[in-house]
Structure 1
Amino acid sequence: MKALFAPLALTFSLFLAPYSESQPNAASTGSRTNLSFLNVSQSLETPSGSGLETLQIYNVAISVANLDESIAWYEDKLGFQLQNRRQVSTGIEIALIEKNDFYIDLIYITGSENVEGSPQDPPDHLRVQGLRNLVFWVNNLQATDAELKSKGVQLIWESRYIPEVETSVTNFRDNNGNLIAIWER
């Protein structure tokens, strides 16, 4: 059954995109207008060719209700670090956060709203089409669960064993209600 899980592992590995060059930390630079922090690539080598054969993951973007609260949540609960924050146009501010070479753009836009309705717990969250959750891997899920609970994170599924893929998953929501899954390698 682990063969069923291999495509998920391959897909997730595409999200572990290292920077192609060293980027300054926002806290150490006073510049708020340089967009060079957007140069994220999947590997140190640029794929040869053209068109879709050069397709690579860039990052994950999450629209949030409050940028300060979201940055604080991801830093406090999951250990992400703010890499850069800036206004990109009138009413739009973004913050790039990173952990272990995985990048998330937290985006605030004036007047945004959540039109999805009440978030549903797994597996009912899949009844609404679209991107459904953010997925991470860890080596020891029970230790991770204990850390999350010590930080006040309310777990929906705690180390729930999924026999079809022969591993366990924990689910919880971020401060905006977005579902996060952590699978044990």
Structure 2
Amino acid sequence: MSQLFERIDTVFLQVKTLDEAIPWYQENLGFELRWRQGGHACMNVAETPLTLWETPSGEAHTPHPYLAFNFYIKDLEACERHLQERGVQTEPILDHGVVKTLDFFDNSGNRLSVCSW
């Protein structure tokens, strides 16, 4: 454990608009809005919140080009069913041996991932 830092405080993810992203994360992933100020909105996930950052006005949104983090869940198949029932675009579950992953996309086109082991 680092003697300097206690934890990762938040993870940032750029989205097209907060007005569209906040309800998407609430309705599809069950995240609660902690706060919203200016072009940022903090969503409660678990111990590390997700802070959505709105693409500045006049700029084109480019979906996140790589996976910078993933979520964890015990039942990956149930998560897949949950997302698919809500019309969320998913990719097939991948078995990496010790860990399985499921990639999916938010309404801004960002690739997100959830893992299980």
Amino acid at match of 1:136: F
Q: CA deviation at 1:100?
A: 2.1
Residues 85 and 115 of structure 1, relative CA distance in 2, 3 Å threshold? closer
Q: Displaced runs of 4+ in structure 1, greater than 4 A?
A: none
Alignment partner, residue 167 of structure 1 = 99
In terms of Rg, which structure is larger?
1
Amino acid at match of 1:138: I
Tell me, which stretches of 5 or more residues in structure 1 are unaligned? 1-46, 88-92, 120-127
Q: When the two structures are superposed, what TM-score results if normalisation uses the length of structure 2?
A: 0.83
Q: Say whether the 8 Å CA contact 2:15–2:61 is kept in structure 1.
A: no
Alignment partner, residue 184 of structure 1 = 116
Higher relative contact order (CA 8 A, sep 6+): 2
Tell me, which stretches of 5 or more residues in structure 2 are unaligned? none
Output aligned runs, 1:33-182, within 5 Å: 53-55=3-5, 56-87=7-38, 93-108=39-54, 109-115=56-62, 131-157=66-92, 159-163=93-97, 166-182=98-114
Deviation readout 1:49-88 (Å, 9 max, x if unpaired): xxx841331211112211111111111111100011122x
Residues 132 and 154 of structure 1, relative CA distance in 2, 3 Å threshold? same
Q: CA deviation at 1:144?
A: 1.0
- Identity, % of aligned positions: 25
- How many equivalent residue pairs? 115
Q: CA deviation at 1:181?
A: 1.0
Query: Which structure shows the higher helix fraction?
Result: 1
> Aligned with 2:37: secondary structure?
strand
Q: Say whether the 8 Å CA contact 2:8–2:48 is kept in structure 1.
A: no
> Aligned with 2:60: secondary structure?
coil
Counterpart CA distance in 2 for 1:176 and 1:147 is 19
Amino acid at match of 1:179: R
